[in-house]
Amino acid sequence: MTPHEPIVRLAAKGDGVTEKGQHVKDGLPGDWLDPGGVLQRGQHYVTPPCPQFGRCGGCQLQHADEAILKQFVRDRVINAAHAQGLDIGKVLPVHLSPPASRRRATLHALKRRKGALMGFHEARTHRIIDAVECTVLRPELANLLAPLRELVANHGGKGPVDIQLTLCDQGVEVNLKNLPLAGLSATEDVIAFAQSSKLARLTLDQGFGSETMWEPEPATVTLSGVAVSLPPGAFLQATQDAEDVMLADVRHHLGDALLVADLFSGLGTFAFAALQGKRRKVLAVEAQRSAHLACKAASTRAGGNVIALHRDLFRSPLQPDELERFDAVVIDPPRAGAKAQIAELAASACKRVVYVSCNPSSWSRDGARLTEAGFKLATLRPVGQFRWSTHVELVSLFVR
């Protein structure tokens, strides 16, 4: 059949776009619309590995081959940069996490008359798509789907239960929210589940914050060789492989910097990495108190070269006179970016900024402010650690 309307690119939300700008659900570059408007598949289409694909909102691109997935991740970052007029010195190869590599995830479950539903939400709804298996999760997490489903079937209430899974040094941490436990027998069942599943920790939040129900030994996560206490539900990079690539880039971009500031530092992922093989000091600045305290305690045990500072950088960003003490700054803000802190960086004498981002749009906005102040975008690496999704991350270096 002669192609009538070829699909030439993917939009930010994963739908195909034709040469005339028409958006086509599930279309891929290389596909086309025939004269009757029916989507015809091209060379980049693959059979989605998950039977829930198309309904589950966790993945949008399981029908795309490896080449298209990497191109999508690259284009999302490059297009965001060009939209703000950023000139890119060097684009490093895309890193794409493999299947079954996700070490943290949040699932949702709902008790039914017979059994329970459990999985991710359907795209753009709160409807739970039942998932017997999940192709993105590490096996340690995926193996818990069946016992968790049984737990909710036996003890769930009228509303949905949120289930947060995180792989740490001791095994899997499970955080349950809105699971009502009525009586001693229900509590014993939950603890028995934790024991039989060999969980690292089980916490329960019934509206008053997380309460630890089971933790045979303190849960930790090792960051660049440093064991850091893991607060319940704490943030980690979604995959170990993507974290390793990001850490290597950050260390390389820091060069010979001796005094480094790590802003929005969390548990100290980049702060502890910056110390490897270098005689440097790192100021780790974080607003979330539990993460700050975990980083501070770990640094004390590891020699004290990471100095942890508890500070809300949205309300109280580091000022130019504070920033000028540092040879380089690492910044890894939430999805909203760091507009206020970037403004102070732009006004400072700082010459090297390593910007890690989980949102190309807010990153490019902040990057434009840096370039207005004389910075140049020297290096950029697109990262797709949320495989098959439209969520894209990056590591970049700005210098002046």
Would you say 383 and 393 are in contact if contact means Cβ atoms under 8 Å apart? yes
CA 242 to chain centre: 10
Per the annotation, the verdict on 168 as an active-site residue is: no
Residue 312's φ and ψ, nearest 5 degrees, are -85, 105
Instruction: With H, G, I as helix, E, B as strand and everything else as coil, classify residue 13.
Output: coil
Tell me the C-alpha distance between 328 and 306, whole Å: 15
Q: Cα separations (Å) of 177 from 92, 108, 180, 289, 366?
A: 40, 10, 9, 21, 35
Extract long-range pairs of 335-341: CB within 8 Å, 24+ residues apart. Answer: 335/359, 335/362, 336/362, 337/362, 337/363, 337/365, 337/366, 338/263, 338/264, 338/313, 338/314, 338/366, 339/365, 339/366, 339/369, 340/313, 340/314, 341/263, 341/313, 341/314, 341/317
User: What length is written for the chain?
Assistant: 400
Strands 32-33 and 95-96: unpaired
Exactly one of 50, 134, 350, 358 is catalytic; which is it? Answer: 358
Instruction: Tell me if 351 sits within 8 A of 400, measured CB to CB.
Output: yes
Which strand ranges, in their side-by-side order, compose the sheet holding 210-214?
A: 116-119, 104-111, 161-168, 171-177, 201-205, 210-214
Q: What are phi and psi of 223, to 5 degrees?
A: -115, 110
SS3 content of the chain, % helix, strand, coil (to 5): 25, 30, 45
> In angstroms, rounded to a whole number, what is the distance separating the alpha carbons of residues 347 and 324?
10
**DSSP letters of 202-232?**
EEEESSS-EEEEE-SS--EEEETTEEEE--T
Q: Which of these, 297, 249, 259, lies nearest to 281 by C-alpha position? A: 259
**Cα–Cα distance between 197 and 171 in angstroms, integer?**
10
The residues annotated as belonging to the active site are 358
